[in-house]
Amino acid sequence: MDGKAPPLFLIGTLSLPSTPKSIFFLFLAMSESSTTTTTTAASAPAASAAASAVTDSPAPPQSVTKSWADEADEETAAATTSTAETETSSVKMDGLTIDGNKSNSPKLLDDPDDSNIQAVTSGDTPYTSAATFEDLNLTPELLKGLYVEMKFQKPSKIQAISLPMILSPPHRDLIAQAHNGSGKTTCFVLGMLSRVDPKVQAPQALCICPTRELAIQNTEVLRKMGKYTGISSECAVPMDSRDALPIAKRAPIMAQVVIGTPGTIKKWMSFKKLGATRLRILVFDEADQMLAEDGFKDDSLRIMKEIEKVNSNCQVLLFSATFNDTVKNFVSRTVKKDHNKLFVKKEELSLDAVKQYKVHCPDELSKIEVIKDYIFEIGENVGQTIIFVRTRNSAKMLHKSLVDLGYEVTSIQGALEHEERDKIVKEFRDGLTQVLISTDVLARGFDQQQVNLVINYDLPVKHTTQFTRDPEPDCEVYLHRVGRAGRFGRKGAVFNLICDERDERLMSKIENHFGTLVTEVREKSVEDYKAALKEAGLLL
């Protein structure tokens, strides 16, 4: 691309439903390939070609830890050299240092969207940021859903920028990154709903998600938002044993929107029950995971190919809060060449509204002590809590320990039966349970506004380096876990339980990666934890 420093333009100020006073500045880069200059009341055009480059940061060496997670494991000392990805920074950002607003305007704690999004648009289509939902030419039924059902007032920042790109011809593919809890789901759900032709009774929008829970959640959001549109939808996740008619015997899917997990969608397609000829829009939620080598890459590409076979004009949307360099590079080659993209620098990705802490625990057992003696003591009144663990076994064991101690906690992990998973999530959503122990099955996307506290019982570790002497943290997963708190700008706190030098190094690598400071809590007294939660804004 170009190596010139593109000029910057201030294109809009917006506010969010839950944060009425917030003001943000959005800078977009403009380059020679387009010269757009329309302006509306509170918005202006998004721009063209320019791009982003992100780099990773390293950190120090070794040690070993014993945890329940490791019990079933074998210690292999095969030292893997840290992943040195061949990153052709085909994209660059020279003059694109868009830190302008940082120094100018003080950050508001409850502002979920206070950082910059880099927009790179293809061709010369001018996009005007949407100041209101009315700007988007939505049907009255859909607008009503937004206002009445969803109780939205105005588009969030990512919505304001991405929706015009999604909705206006020529309906280019879009890769969009935005912060956790900033309203990505609304972007693609609204996109799907508004691109469906109500008169056509066939699948026209397809959304693929990494977990059953996310597919169900997204389906629920779509049904709520689309309540007045009459648009039909189907959730493609494995069904409960009993009332499930074998797919071979089922009638073809007529629903206009299908949201599901890769396996079931593949299955439906291979049984010719899910036709792709009328598809107009294909969405990958948590797209980086859906297209990652150790994720669902094969499934995703397979599905895309199946669609391409019968359909040449299906818009592809890729959404996630994280795109590491490797995935980002691959992903850009997966979609059509003239796609648009929105990216956030990784340093600006961690949520300022969620305060991060680390707690030193001498050993594995003391982690439980910290949880019950301190965090539970004061955490009960600050909302719901999710405790993340690394393995299914950890989930089971920690669950048992806490239940034996008399606490009411539940746990979820992929080995549970579907029904059981659904039940546990429902109980948590209904507020019947206060504390949920989870593997990374819920690390991404799970949206429960009452969750204010996240505990990393185990830090997330990259699987490939897990048994090396100096494992790498999984920074993406870390960010997603943290993002379970602080939904839509709410306040939150994370406690990372650190046990040994290995954990120390993981933690500091995470801090380096995001350029954030994780405050240490001295496990001395309940007062210290109270102070921490006060600082996080969760206690008075």
Partner DNA sequence: AAAAAAT
Kindly indicate which of the ranges 112-120, 211-219, 301-309, 353-361 contains the residues binding DNA, using the contact rule CB under 7 A: 211-219
Kindly indicate which of the ranges 94-102, 235-243, 305-313, 447-455 contains the residues binding DNA, using the contact rule CB under 7 A: 235-243
DSSP characters over 195-260: H--TT--S--EEEE-SSHHHHHHHHHHHHHHTTTTT--EEEESPPPTTTPPPGGGSPPP--SEEEE
Instruction: Kindly state the smallest distance separating residue 512's Cβ from DNA, in Å.
Output: 20
Query: Which run of H or of E encompasses 143?
Result: helix 140-144
Site membership for DNA, residue 481 (CB under 7 A): no
Provide the residue count of the chain: 540
Options 13, 401, 450, 466; binder of DNA; rule CB under 7 A: 466
Residue 79 DSSP code: P
Contact predicate 505/60, CB 8 Å? yes
Per-residue x/- track, 243-282, DNA (CB under 7 A): -----------------xxxxx--x---------------
Options 464, 508, 512, 516; binder of DNA; rule CB under 7 A: 464
Site membership for DNA, residue 125 (CB under 7 A): no
| Lookup: tokens for 347 | 């340093």
Count other C-beta atoms under 10 Å from residue 462's C-beta: 19
Site membership for DNA, residue 471 (CB under 7 A): no
b vs e for 289-324, b when ≥16 Cβ sit within 10 Å of the residue's Cβ?
Answer: bbbbeebbbebbebbbebbeeeeeebbbbbbbbbbb
Instruction: Kindly state the smallest distance separating residue 397's Cβ from DNA, in Å.
Output: 11
CA distance 315 to 338: 11
Options 346, 462, 481, 490; binder of DNA; rule CB under 7 A: 462
Instruction: Kindly state the smallest distance separating residue 36's Cβ from DNA, in Å.
Output: 40
**Going by C-beta distance under 8 Å and a sequence separation of 6 or more, which residues neighbour residue 75?**
64, 467
Kindly indicate which of the ranges 347-355, 439-447, 490-498, 513-521 contains the residues binding DNA, using the contact rule CB under 7 A: 439-447
Site membership for DNA, residue 391 (CB under 7 A): yes
Instruction: Kindly state the smallest distance separating residue 349's Cβ from DNA, in Å.
Output: 19
Size of the site for DNA (CB under 7 A): 38
Contact predicate 274/203, CB 8 Å? yes
Instruction: Kindly state the smallest distance separating residue 155's Cβ from DNA, in Å.
Output: 30
Residue that is written with structure tokens 């302006």 in the block: 39
Q: Which residues 400-419 are close enough to bind DNA by CB under 7 A?
A: 413-415
Site membership for DNA, residue 428 (CB under 7 A): no
Site membership for DNA, residue 20 (CB under 7 A): no
**Going by C-beta distance under 8 Å and a sequence separation of 6 or more, which residues neighbour residue 243?**
none
Q: Which residues pair with 385 in a beta bridge?
A: 435, 453
Residue number with CB closer to DNA (19 or 411): 411
Instruction: Kindly state the smallest distance separating residue 421's Cβ from DNA, in Å.
Output: 8
Kindly indicate which of the ranges 154-162, 233-241, 330-338, 373-381 contains the residues binding DNA, using the contact rule CB under 7 A: 233-241
Options 113, 364, 440, 503; binder of DNA; rule CB under 7 A: 440
Site membership for DNA, residue 393 (CB under 7 A): yes
Instruction: Kindly state the smallest distance separating residue 320's Cβ from DNA, in Å.
Output: 14
CA distance 281 to 206: 6
CA distance 349 to 479: 8
Query: Angle CA(480)–CA(280)–CA(156) in degrees, nearest 5?
Result: 40
Options 441, 459, 507, 510; binder of DNA; rule CB under 7 A: 441
Q: What are phi and psi of 412, to 5 degrees?
A: -135, 140
Q: Which residues 76-115 are close enough to bind DNA by CB under 7 A?
A: 76
Site membership for DNA, residue 390 (CB under 7 A): yes
Chain positions contacting DNA, by CB under 7 A: 69, 72-74, 76, 210-213, 236-238, 260-264, 267, 294-296, 299, 390-393, 413-415, 439-441, 462-464, 466-467, 474
